[in-house]
């Protein structure tokens, strides 16, 4: 992992993005134990608070999970992604209903959004 100070992205975002990409690609497998916040900060020459901020963001995204004395591990992406997807769907359905849209209109909006996102 390398942090570039001349890069426009803040260092914590660079750490977050690199760990996230490595987890997604499988370079960091599920269950892989990440270094401690202090350890990674020393290795990268960053402040511990910078790495802690990246770890908090990764945990919020479901990429990693902290297990107290057992450390910080790469989470099973499938389960976290499915929970996040279900939550987003519930939020959308509730909002569509509050707006007074019909079920058919809501489904049509989702289909259009999916076509746009997936290029279909």
58-84 pLDDT, tens digit each? 998 888 998 888 899 998 766 666 777
Q: Are 63 and 83 within one domain?
A: no
Q: What pLDDT does residue 68 have? A: 84
Using DSSP's 3-state secondary structure scheme, residue 5 falls into coil
pTM: 0.64
Residue 2 lies in a domain: no
- Residues spanned by the domain of 100: 78-119
Q: Following CA atoms 37, 39, 45, 51 in sequence, which dihedral angle do they give, to the nearest 10 degrees?
A: -10
Could you tell me where the DSSP H helices lie in the chain? 11-25, 37-44, 48-60, 77-98, 103-118
Confidence of residue 86 (pLDDT cuts 50, 70, 90): confident
Between CA 51 and CA 59, with CA 57 as vertex, the angle to 5 degrees is 100
DSSP code at position 73 = E
What number of other Cβ atoms are within 10 A of residue 28's Cβ? 20
Residue 16 has pLDDT above 90, yes or no: yes
Q: What pLDDT does residue 79 have? A: 63
Q: Are 29 and 63 within one domain?
A: yes
């Amino acid at each position: 992992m390398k942090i570039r100070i001349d890069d426009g992205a803040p260092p914590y975002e660079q750490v977050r993005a690199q760990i996230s990409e490595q987890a997604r690609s499988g370079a960091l497998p599920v269950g892989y134990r990440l270094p401690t916040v202090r350890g990674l900060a020393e290795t990268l020459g960053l402040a511990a608070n910078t790495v802690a901020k990246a770890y908090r963001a990764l945990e919020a995204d479901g990429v990693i999970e902290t297990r107290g004395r057992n450390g910080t591990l790469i989470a099973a992406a499938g389960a976290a992604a499915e929970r996040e997807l279900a939550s987003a769907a519930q939020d959308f359905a509730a909002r569509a209903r509050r707006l007074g849209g019909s079920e058919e209109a809501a489904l049509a909006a989702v289909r259009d959004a999916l076509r746009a996102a997936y290029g279909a």
